[in-house]
């Protein structure tokens, strides 16, 4: 009880723990930001934004998106779940901007997720605050509705 389920192979990603297998086109792994990647941690809004300015990365993302959009009989909109406190706020901002530009008139419901505030380094707290503010502003600009979610009442901000 409480132990991780047995796997056939080695566990490399969070999705390896899922009981339901995801379609290969529904996951996009950023190799340089994996646990053993060359860049380390995706911790700043600008890093995430810059990631999707790479033409190869953006093209791959658009191909995966179009694969699913073409399967829809009647596309009504999108739901985007995005961390606000780290570099994924920049990734989410660029993704919502892409959706807003390519699928104008479709609803974009964005969920901005933040962790509980934890006592730590003051510089990291300031960086998390800046990521949250930048993410909130940019996501709100291109979303039909932005709903920030946190287990604390402060969006992870002290």
Question: Do residues 154 and 117 touch, judged by C-beta distance below 8 A?
Answer: yes
Helices (H), 38-121: 45-51, 55-69, 88-102
Please tell me the pTM assigned to this model: 0.80
Would you give per-residue pLDDT tens digits along the chain (158 residues)? 455 555 566 776 666 777 777 788 888 877 776 655 555 678 889 988 998 888 888 899 899 999 999 999 999 999 999 989 888 999 999 999 999 999 988 999 999 988 876 666 778 888 888 999 999 999 999 999 999 888 777 655 55
The CATH architecture to which 43-150 belongs is 3-Layer(aba) Sandwich (3.40)
16: helix, coil or strand?
A: helix
How far, in Å, are 58, 77, 108, 120 from residue 102 at the CA level? Answer: 13, 12, 12, 40
Domain locations in the chain as residue ranges? 43-150
């Amino acid at each position: 009880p409480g132990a991780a389920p047995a796997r056939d192979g080695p566990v490399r990603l969070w999705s390896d723990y899922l009981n339901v297998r995801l379609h290969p086109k529904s996951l996009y792994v950023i190799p340089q930001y994996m646990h053993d990647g060359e860049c380390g941690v995706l911790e700043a809004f600008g890093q995430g934004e810059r990631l999707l300015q790479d033409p190869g990365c953006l093209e791959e993302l658009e191909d995966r998106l179009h694969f699913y959009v073409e399967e829809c009989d009647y596309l009504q909109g999108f739901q985007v779940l995005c961390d606000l406190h780290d570099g994924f706020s920049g990734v989410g901002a660029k993704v919502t901007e892409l959706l807003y530009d390519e699928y104008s008139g479709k609803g974009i419901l964005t969920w901005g997720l933040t962790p509980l505030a934890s006592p730590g380094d003051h510089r990291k707290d300031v960086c998390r605050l800046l990521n949250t503010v930048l993410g909130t502003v940019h996501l709100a600009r291109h979303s039909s509705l932005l709903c920030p979610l946190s287990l604390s009442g402060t969006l992870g901000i002290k």
